[in-house]
Structure 1
Amino acid sequence: MRTDPRCPHCNEKVSATASWCMHCGQDFDEPREAGSGELTEALARGDSDAVAGRLTDSEHGPGAIGVGVAIVALVTLPTVAPPGLTFFYLAAVVAVGYLAAQQQGTSDALSRGAQLLALTPLLLWLLSAALYAVPPITALLGPIVYAVLVLLLARRIDSSLVG
């Protein structure tokens, strides 16, 4: 008998014999024990609600968000970063991920990570202007669009994590 049965989808308390959750309405084979670490299973199932619940409840949530933000930065920043700043670009990726991971909660980590990620191409553009010739002002269009998209996407993800 489970001592603290939880819904595998939303992580709310359920009866030990429940086969569906009265909180989220999801069906399941059996409840899981609280703190059993089923994040990997939720990822494998593609259950975004369960993943969000596990990340929000976990003390490692901010670290996971920090790693995720760093991966997004590593993949997307080259499209808007000025050429010739590879070292600074890689340092920015590490810094963005690290600073996001140092936050108290997942929502704070996502918010701070998104802010830093949005600001990074603009800072790289300024660094490029200081080190090399000043690029044309139209070169700022890409970083500005990137910043807006990152902040909008982060807000949408945060709202799905919170509620």
Structure 2
Amino acid sequence: MALIPFFSPTVASADSGFIPGVYGEFLPGALTPSQSGVSPDLGWGIGGNEDGFLNDTFFVRFSATLENYPSPGIFLVPLTFGPGLRLIKSDPGDFYVIGTIGIAPVFFPQGGELLPLYGGGIGYSFSRFFAEARVNVFPQSHFLGGSLIEFPLTIGMHL
């Protein structure tokens, strides 16, 4: 019986002000400059976020993620902040867009660096659970000789 309130759709509501969440990411590879010789394969990520609703439509998000591309051994820790816009509020869920800016310590087999990042995406939140498709750009990597572009697919749960 204790699980029923946990999975209740009324517990997580965008109208409550602040909504924490946890999520997992599937990273279907990434784009890198051809001269870098690095081509990240499939990866994964886990993280947490906090959405703060300013009103019925606008919100801000803070998030921290751990991402890993096992081959070729790239590990990222994106810390982001960004605005969000709820486009459709409906039952059973909401359709929204999100923009992000931030920094990310990035670790390569040859060393590490601190990179800026920016990105955006679309998402759908259906009560307790949410799904997003985003693009993140990490410009001017010294180790790659250019930008790293990734396309995280996210599934998460509002706490």
TM > 0.5: no
Q: Normalized per residue, which structure has more strand?
A: 2
- The answer to which structure, 1 or 2, has the higher relative contact order (CA under 8 A, 6+ apart) is 2
- Could you state the TM-score of these two structures normalised by the residue count of structure 1? 0.29
Q: Normalized per residue, which structure has more helix?
A: 1
